[in-house]
Amino acid sequence: MLPGMMKWYSRRDFVRLSAAGVFAPTLSGWLPVLANAAPQGGKGKARACILLWMDGGPSHKDTFDPKPDSKGAGEFKPIATKVPGVYISEHLPKIAQTLDKGVIVRGMTTPEGAHPRAKYYMHTGYREGQGGIIHPSLGAIVSKEIGDPDSPMPNYVAINSRSYGAGFLGPRHQPLLITDPNRGVEDLKAAVSTQQLQRRLGLLERMERAFYREYDADIIRDHHTTYQRAFQLMSSRQAKAFDLSAEPPSSRSRYGSGRFADGVLMARRLVEVGVPFVEVTLGGWDTHQNNFERVKALSAQIDTPIAALITDLQERGLLDTTLVVWMGEFGRTPHINNRGPNPGRDHYPRAWSTVMWGGGIRAGGTVGKTDKEGATVIDRPVTAQDFLATICELLGIDHTRQNETPTGRPIRIVEKANPFTSLIT
């Protein structure tokens, strides 16, 4: 074997050792490879996380932190939840009945008020450009730390969005991107017989082996791993989790309709077969104009599927080991802007809300508190680092552990964090 050259397997070994993946041209460039799972060092018992990403930044005052007597209260009324003394928006009545199994984090306070930088910050815990590197997202960290390297399924799936990837952790922890959950993963069935496919893959392997000898480039390893994993995914029984048509109609109807509802249902199916991290995105929360009508419509899109997810996970015995997180990149201004005939709310990272369910948390309450206007956190401020470190701890990941960049620089998973470990049972 040439110095620095990776091991190349025979065709029989290739078929036997292939691990799940997808062809980059077909499925948006997912390039994961086999990796060694690191020991778990956190305190929690969750083994999977479903991140419900509300792209654009939802208004905390119009969702999970209503202030009916404030100046910018708006049109929505608060309703009681299953937790005594905790109220949320009237347009989330089904979610209100699940909060005895969840926690509202009302003390979020972060420094980034521009969408791209705030999204990066909340996905990675680092400010964009910090240290001149691209940091791994939470999904990539989960993939590396607790993902199963021998599973035929991906360890990180992102639905309805490109999301944020693996950064310096490399292509092995990139997400599998699902742009339309109703269509699932396309082209999983080969157009030729299994024998023909194996011959073609063997030919491709021999060609790449020769090419690698001459050029010795990392990208060749990545491509080699991509089609290896693709082949096993194509023959995996677990890949049926991507096919929503296999879900019984009575079960599927509980989630409602629409791309977000389909994505949430797919997320439940994926964690059932062992995928440790799934992100489902719903955009449209950037409500500078027509805030109340838009938030009302968006609330209707999330209320039924999220409530169904929490109930489903509980009934299937998965809620205690599956952490469900609802969040965006920041909140919206406590006051209403006066621009145009349909006023809205602007970006506001100073005080906002997120929600957690399941994952073995001590549920049924709130973390943090804002003032009467919803403008300032007056009790238990929660930084992005605090929040992400808490998620890591709930998933059994030591957030203080370091990963190395390709140049050998150690980077902590989350730095300068004070997780609220009181939630961990």
In percent, how much of the chain has pLDDT > 70?
A: 79
Reduced to 3 states, what is the DSSP secondary structure of residue 234?
Answer: helix
Q: Nearest 10 degrees: CA dihedral of 317, 322, 326, 328?
A: -160
pLDDT at residue 192, rounded to an integer: 55
pLDDT for position 69: 92
pLDDT one-digit tens code per residue, 75-106: 899 999 999 999 999 999 999 999 999 999 99
Q: Which of 22-36, 78-92, 293-307, 350-364 has the lowest average pLDDT?
A: 22-36
Instruction: Give the per-residue pLDDT at 5.
Output: 30
**178-210 per-position pLDDT tens digit:** 999 999 886 666 555 666 666 766 776 676 676
Domains of the chain: 1-30+187-242 (no CATH), 41-184+247-423 (3.40.720.10)
7 falls in which pLDDT band (50, 70, 90)? very low
Looking at 5-14, 60-69, 224-233, 332-341, which range is the least confident one? 5-14
CA distance 368 to 408: 38
3-state SS class at 216: coil
Instruction: Identify the weakest region by mean pLDDT among 161-165, 187-191, 252-256.
Output: 187-191
Judge whether residue 16 has pLDDT over 90: no
If one compares 401 and 35, the residue with the highest pLDDT of the two is: 401
What b-and-e string marks burial along 22-44, b requiring 16 or more CB atoms within 10 Å of the CB?
A: bbbeebebbbbbbbeeeeeebbb
Is the separation of the CB atoms in 34 and 225 below 8 Å?
A: yes
CA distances from 315 to 79, 129, 319, 414 (A): 26, 43, 8, 33
User: In the predicted model, what is the mean pLDDT of residues 236-265?
Assistant: 93
What are the pLDDT digits (tens) for 341-364? Answer: 899 999 999 999 999 999 999 999
Phi, psi of 272, rounded to the nearest 5 degrees: -65, -30
Residue 322 exposed, middle or buried by CB count within 10 Å (0-12, 13-18, 19+): buried
Q: Which residues, at least 6 apart from 110, have a Cβ–Cβ distance to it below 8 Å? A: 118, 121, 122, 330, 349, 352, 383, 384
Report the alpha-carbon distance of residue 353 to residue 58 in Å, rounded: 9
Whether the pLDDT of residue 391 is over 80: the answer is: yes
Ramachandran sector of residue 359 (left: φ over 0; alpha: ψ -120 to 50; beta: rest): left
pLDDT one-digit tens code per residue, 99-130: 999 999 999 999 999 999 999 999 999 999 98
| Cα distance between the two ends of the chain | 51
* Average pLDDT across the chain, whole number: 85
Residue 2 pLDDT: 30
What pLDDT is attached to residue 423?
81
